[in-house]
Every structure is written in structure tokens, then in C-alpha cells.
A and B are shown apart, each in its own frame.
Chain A
Amino acid sequence: MSATVSSTVPTGGSAPTAPTAPTTGARPLGSLLRGVRPGVALASLVVALVVLAALVPSLLAPSGPTQIDLGNSLAAPSLSHPFGTDEAGRDLFSRVVYGTRLSLGIGLGATGIAMGLAIVLGFLSGLAGGVVDTAVTRILEVFFAFPSLLAALLVISVFGPSVTTSIVAVGLSSMPGYARMVRGQVLNVKQAGYIEAAHALGHRPSRVLARHLFPNAMRPLVAVLTLGVGQSIVWASSLAFLGLGVPPPNPEWGALLDAGRNYITTQWWLEILPGLVIVLFAISVTTVGRAVQQRLEGAAR
């Protein structure tokens, strides 16, 4: 007689550890792709398309972004104009496609500025400790005291709206969050066993910093960066929607939203469709970022 006891308590992670066989450290690409969820695959596709649109917009857009056709203004979505046309008869889909380069550029640029400053401040703070750490932390706290968007608005109101100020404004206002994360990572990795082991071997501090501290502190932030790009694009769009971003007639995504808002009761697609593109891209980047994060954390311990 053999009876089965159903196990009902999901304690999780309680499997006994079996000795693992030695395997090679490098994994072939095939095993990297295996087990990718369909949602992540779809999101990766969206991100790939957006990147393509930014690099070679003419490949995807049916017409130029500023090609005016007054006889066909405010047309509803159709096969020839998937997103319809705006008040000047410009093909909205083409404008969205051509706007990708600017939007993505702002996203990457802003994240780059934010992360660059964050690395400097975070490492300074985490490595120096003492007075320097206290000073940097206080400065970051002052930044935190301002709502991020408000800080961005402040920068723009001082320097006037342009592509560059958008990038700087969004970058500066998202910097403190990254800086705090970098500092935490540095403090964490600084006391890792392998850092002491490297010192015990007699390696120079600069070598320990470059070979162990920096890569290991930054590794978890790779995923955060991908998330940051999506976030920055949304913020830049918000600024543009408020009329404080990229000046017209540049087809930036947020600017398209701003232009479409006058027609939301009559030609809703002018507002909704570009909005959906932003949402779709932000979700996709976030999904990909999370997947990357899980991979990296799974690879680490």
C-alpha cells in the first residue's frame, strides 16, 4: 500500500542542495534565450522596433514627418495613414516614427547624465566616507526635497526650453536616486570578502577599484539603467506636453501629445495613439529591464 501525502505549505526554496557538477562558466547564446517568457520576447521586439525607428526612421515611416497635405487634414486612421493625420495633414504615424530619435535620444542622454553624475557622487561618498560622505548625502537630500518634475521645470525656466535643456533637466532631476543607489552598492561591495582577498594578495588599490569594486558595484545598476531610459522618456514627454520641452515643429513624442490635446473630443486618435506608443514603449523597456535584472541577480548569488 502506498499512500500519497499532499504537500500544501508553499515554503519555497527548501529543496536540499545536491552537489553540483562542475560546468563551464561561459554559457552559449542558446541557453540564454531559452526560457524567455513570451511577454519579454514581445517587449524586446517593441524595443528593437523603437531602436530601429530611431536609427533609420525612413524604413518604417510611410512619409516624411513634416510633409504637409492640407487637403487631407485631421483624417481618421486608415490603411494609408495608420494613425490618421494632424491639422496640417501630416501623417501622424510618420511623425511618431521620426520623433523616436529625439525621444530616445533625450531618454538616453538624460539617463547618461544622471548615471555619470551619480557614479562620481556615489563612489566619492561611498569610498571616502566621513565628512565627504556626509556632505554628499546632505546635497542629495536637498535634491530629494524637490519633486523631480519640479526640479526639471526649475532648470528649464532658467535656461529656456530646448532639446539640450530637456536632457539636462531630466538628467539632473533623476540623478539623486541613482547616486543613492550607487553609494549603497559601493558600501556593500566595499566590505565583500573578495575585496579583502584582493588586498591581502597585495594588489594596488586602483587595481582593486577597477577590477572588483567598480564592475561589481555597477552590475545590478545595468538593469536600473534600462528602467531609467523609459522613465526619462516619459518625463521628457511630460515636459514637452507642458510646452517646456522640445520646441515645435520637432516631432518629439511629448510634443505630439501636446498638439493632439486640442482635438481630444473630436479627433481622439491624435492624442490617444501617440500616448499609447509612449505607454507601450515604457512598459516594454521596463519589462526588458526587469528580465535583465532577474538574469543578473540569478547569475550572482
Chain B
Amino acid sequence: MTASIRPTSIPTTSVEVDEDLLLVGTTGTTGVVDASGSSPVSSDRAVLSVSGLRIGFGQGEDRREVVKGISFTARAGRCLAIVGESGSGKSVTARTLVGLTGAGSWVEADALRLGDADLTAQRERDWRAIRGRQIGFVLQDALVSLDQLRRVGDEVAEPLRVHRWGTRASRAERAVELLASVGVPEPEIKARQRPYELSGGLRQRALIASAIALDPLLLIADEPTTALDVTIQAQILDLLSEAKGRGQAIILISHDLSVVARLADDVAVMRDGEIVEQGPVDEVLSAPRHPYTRALLDAVPSEHTRGIRLVRPAEGQTAPARPARRIDRGRPVLDARHLTKVYTGPDRVDRTVVDDVSFELFAGETLGIVGESGSGKTTTARMALSLIAPTSGEVLLHGEQWSSLSVARRRTRRARIGVVYQDPLSSFDPRWSAGRILTDALATGPTPPSSREEARTRAVRLLEQVGLRAEHLDAAPLRLSGGQRQRIAIARALAPEPGVLVCDEPVSALDVSIQAQVLDLLTDLQDELGVSYLFISHDLGVIHHMSDRILVMKDGAVVESGTADDVFERPRDPYTQRLLTALPRLAQA
């Protein structure tokens, strides 16, 4: 079984080849470090060594340990990835390494050495001398990390100013150089703009420019590409790869194994505050020793996981085979014809957000819509749901009028199409319990429950259908985990027994193992109920795993459509080809 998913006969050298190509192809100025003995830093030199690091919060009764004695070493010219899911302690570890653990925390370590300096007895003043100069820190969200009211150039030059580098004029000059070095086009102009005027990718570049301003020994990047589109993500990873080529040590904090595979040399897998497995990236990712690492790898959806459950059954059990799909290609359940949506902005300029999009969704089928942010996929979904009216074009539901109906007529047919959102919590009334949410949804179905008892029984049945239990009836969604919340959102969408479910990024906010469970659940429900999915995601792996047919959207238009295999293996459109090249992949044949 393992072989079919991740053939071990082919070693993961493809990853390394990629990296070498990147280094040679993109740096040019510095070259690869460990090749020449004259290089100032040897690639094996330990820049940061950590041993027995323990971090906790609270005192006395409330005292809890979130990092339980971990050890690792970051070496010059290499990237160490710390991988884990939410709550594993990876981010708090990163913050501790720059002395920003936070209020009410305690940190203990057997050894914490940066170069020759001992960091265990650091005071805030000492940390300030280190941050920016010896350790650069890149955070996930550049929009939050950069001061919105200051010019980008000033933000980039901030570490220079703090560490009294040069004069005001020379710092401004250096900031422009730095922006240019991270590939920001027109750096002189961008340096004078404010962060909100820049795109997400450029902001992230500016943040990296600021982190490498003083050429620190160590760069810590905490989810540096998580909020970015896949093509931008590839550029940022190249940039970090260049920094590595210059001999900097990188600690990459990430939940995304494919990003790790692309950039890291060594990987440490964290779970519940402990490192469960550690080693060279190709070893750990191709032949994981710890069951958790294996489960994490299995959970990543991709072209290799189609038709396979992402959550591996417990030892000694076999997964039930997926029954043959019954896709009825007779009449489409959802039929979108030439949908166009034009918004007029406050400047009275018309913007075409969705441009002539047509598709058919058949009974029991999953149609994936994939695209980067701003491609118009969510607007298309909202038109399919008729929550917004198309500027032109029409949607038919079960062969009948849908988008052209009057609001009141359409309301009576809403039960036929359901929706699952990316963020379930915000789609629940904060005052309501799970049970109330479900009974409220049941009331909109074709056969509303006639009594409170019946409503309750059916709500429990819905909960069980999505893998929850009756005890969750009284739970407030706020107190449930992300996966449980999404299960309740799915149960709510299914309550009125719709034939079509529009899933708008339903797993994008979830950890990979939870994502795997929810995707498995959606597949099971499709087998069981024959419901059709209009499945929207920015994640190519998720789309490939779930979809029978795929639409690729760019700038509001469909650039390519076809069966999943056609689109992924024989992409015709240059944009699709570019997307697939940019996609970081786990080492798989």
C-alpha cells in the first residue's frame, strides 16, 4: 500500500536537484558555499544549538509546559525545518529563539548557544542587541508585521537604524539595495510607498529584506509563505534559498510538508511540544520512522491520493473500499451558463470579476474550481448559490430556473443547494449551540421535523453522520476544535437534504491531519448520499484529490477545464503549467 502512494524505489533526489538548480540559477553573486574552502563560513558550522529547551506558561496550578525538552542545531548554509500542527509548540519555539516568548512564560534550557554566546542568561537589553543583527525574524503575515503608517523603505532600514548602522542617507540607500536584492521591482518607488500599497508577495519580500538587512547569522522564518498564492510562494522560497546559499542558517517553521521538502535540508517533526523525529529531509520525508510523521505524510492530499482515504486505518484494519461512483451524466444538477459579474468601483470604473464562466455539475460528481486569490472563484460560487445576481448569464438548478427566479420564489428552493464556508465559526450565530444550529437548518428542509423530539433525534443523526456524537448537541461551537466546527458546518449544510453542496475553501483553515479527516468525511458522504460538490480551493493538491473534473480560473475567466487527470498531467494552458511548476511537491514519482 505504501508503495502505491510513495514509491520508495525512487529516492527523493529530485528535491535536492531542485535546490541545487535554484542555488546555481538564482544567486550568481555568491555561489554555493560549501564548495569552496575559502568561504567565510563552513556549511557544517553550528550557528545555533539548542538542547533540552523547555517552555511553559503560567505558574502553580495553571502551569503548563508547551515545549517539553527539545534539542536541535541550525547550521550555516543549511535550512532546518520545524514541522508541526497547531499547538505543537513550533511557533513558540521560534519566538523563544529571539527572546519574545511573551508575558507569563518561563523558559529553561540545558544549553542555548548562538555562535559562541550563551543565550540562557540573556536579558531584554542583550536580546535587543541580537535581534536583527544576529538573528533575523520573518513572520507569516507581512501586513501585520509591517507598520502600516511608515514607508516600506523605513521599515526595511529599521534594523539598520536600531543597530546604528551608517548614516540616515546611507541607510535609505541600503534599504533600496536590499529591496532590489529580494527582487522587488522599482525599489526606489516601492521604498517610498506604504505597506498597504504593496501586494502580499512584495510585502513578504520587504519583510525578508528587513530580516536580512544586517546579514544575520540565522534567519528564522515562521510560516513565511502560508498566506501567499502558490506562484508567489515559489518566489519567496527561492529567495530564502538564496539566503541559504550565502551561508546563512535558516530555521523554517511550517505546517506545510511540501514547502519543507522544497527548502529544508534537515527537518524536525514536532508534536505536543516534543520532537518525535529529526533528520535529513529526504530521509524523514521518504522513510519516516515515527507513525506520526507517516500519518502526516499520508494526510497530504495530492494526485497520488485520489480514491484513497487520507486517514490511514488503525493497525490491523483495512479501509473500506470506495464503492463505484455513480455519476449520472444525463442531466446536470447545476448548470451555469455564461456567468459574468461586473462590479462598479467607487471610482466608477467597471471591473469584471467573473468573465463568461460556464460549467455543468452532474449528480454525484465533484467539480473543482482552482485559482489564486482574486481569480473570481468565490464570486462564481456565490452566483451558483444565487446569493449574488450575475450581471449576465444564468444558473439552472436541477434543470429549473434558479438565478432568474424572484427572491421569494428562490427562497422556497434554497434547500436544494447547501454551502460550506472556509471559516465555520463565523458562519454560526455566536449565541447558538450546535444542536440549535442543526435544528434550525432542519426546519428549512423538505420534511421539517414535526416535534422537538423529532428535531433532536434527527440532529443527533446528523451529528453521527459527520462523525460527532449526541453529546456535541449542547456544545458551543466556540469551544469546539476547528475540525469539529467544520463537521457541524457540513452537518448543517446537509440538514435540508440538498442535492448540491458548494464547498468554498472548506479545509483551508485546518491542519493537515484534520484536513485529511474532513476530506475523507466529504468523500464518504458523497458515496453515501450521492450529493454533488462544487469544490473551491486554492490548493492544487486538495483539488486534485477531490475532483472528477476541474476548472482553472485566472482573472475571472476559465483558462482550462477538463478531467482531473487531463488538467494535471496534460495541462494545455501556460498559466496552468506555471501553477503546476510552482507547486511544491513532496518527493513522489
Contact = CB atoms under 8 A, between A and B. Distances in A.
B471 A11 contact: no
Interface string A170-198: 00000000000000000000001110111
A9 B431 contact: no
A4 B109 CA distance: 7
B87 interface: yes
Interface string B105-139: 11111111000000111111001000000000000
A200 B426 contact: no
A2 interface: yes
Contacts of B412: 202
A138 interface: no
Interface string B409-426: 001111100110101011
B99 A22 contact: no
Contact of B107 (A5, A14, A204): A5
Contact of A196 (B99, B110, B120, B387): B387
A200 B419 contact: yes
Q: How large is the interface on A (under 10, 10 to 19, 20 to 34, 35 or more residues)?
A: 35 or more
Nearest to B107: A5
Contact of B479 (A11, A14, A23, A300): A23
Contacts of B429: 194, 198, 211-212, 216
Nearest to B385: A200
B12 interface: no
A2 B109 contact: yes
Interface string A6-28: 11111111111111111111100
Interface in B73-126: 86-89, 91-92, 95-96, 99-112, 119-124
Nearest to A202: B414
Contact of A197 (B103, B105, B411, B421): B421
Most chain B CB neighbours (cut-off 10 Å) among A4, A14, A16: A16
Interface string B160-172: 0000000000000
A185 to B, nearest CB: 13
Contacts of A211: 429, 440
A13 B433 CA distance: 26
A4 B106 contact: yes
Contacts, number: 156
B112 A11 contact: no
B480 interface: yes
A19 B87 contact: yes
A8 to B, nearest CB: 4
Contact of B102 (A3, A7, A24, A197): A7
A295 interface: no
B52 interface: yes
A213 B124 CA distance: 48
Contact of B444 (A2, A10, A25, A201): A201
Contacts of B471: 22
Given A4-B106, A7-B103, A16-B87, A200 B387 contact: yes
B479 A22 contact: yes
Nearest to B436: A25
A193 B419 contact: no
Interface in B478-495: 478-481, 484, 492
A211 B437 CA distance: 12
A197 B427 contact: yes
A211 to B, nearest CB: 8
A3 B396 CA distance: 68
Contacts of A215: 431
A301 B478 CA distance: 8
Contacts of A192: 426
Contacts of A204: 411
A1 interface: yes
Interface in A13-52: 13-26
B338 interface: no
B6 to A, nearest CB: 28
B441 interface: yes
B430 A300 contact: yes
Contact of A16 (B92, B414, B479): B92
A215 B421 CA distance: 23
A300 B103 CA distance: 24
Nearest to A11: B102
Contacts of B479: 20-23, 25
A159 to B, nearest CB: 41
Contact of A25 (B425, B426, B475): B475
B437 to A, nearest CB: 9
B475 A23 contact: yes
A9 B99 contact: yes
A9 B430 contact: no
Given A11-B103, A196-B387, A202-B411, A2 B87 contact: no
A29 B511 CA distance: 36
Given A5-B99, A15-B102, A16-B92, A24 B474 contact: yes
Nearest to B112: A5
B66 interface: yes
Interface of B: 52, 57, 66, 86-89, 91-92, 95-96, 99-112, 119-124, 127, 385, 387, 411-415, 418-419, 421, 423, 425-431, 433, 440-441, 444, 471-472, 474-476, 478-481, 484, 492, 496
15 contacts: A3-B120, A5-B96, A5-B99, A5-B122, A8-B99, A9-B124, A11-B103, A16-B66, A25-B476, A193-B427, A197-B421, A201-B415, A203-B444, A211-B440, A299-B430
Given A202-B496, A216-B429, 13 more contacts: A1-B111, A2-B110, A5-B108, A5-B120, A7-B102, A16-B88, A16-B89, A16-B92, A22-B480, A200-B385, A201-B441, A202-B414, A211-B429
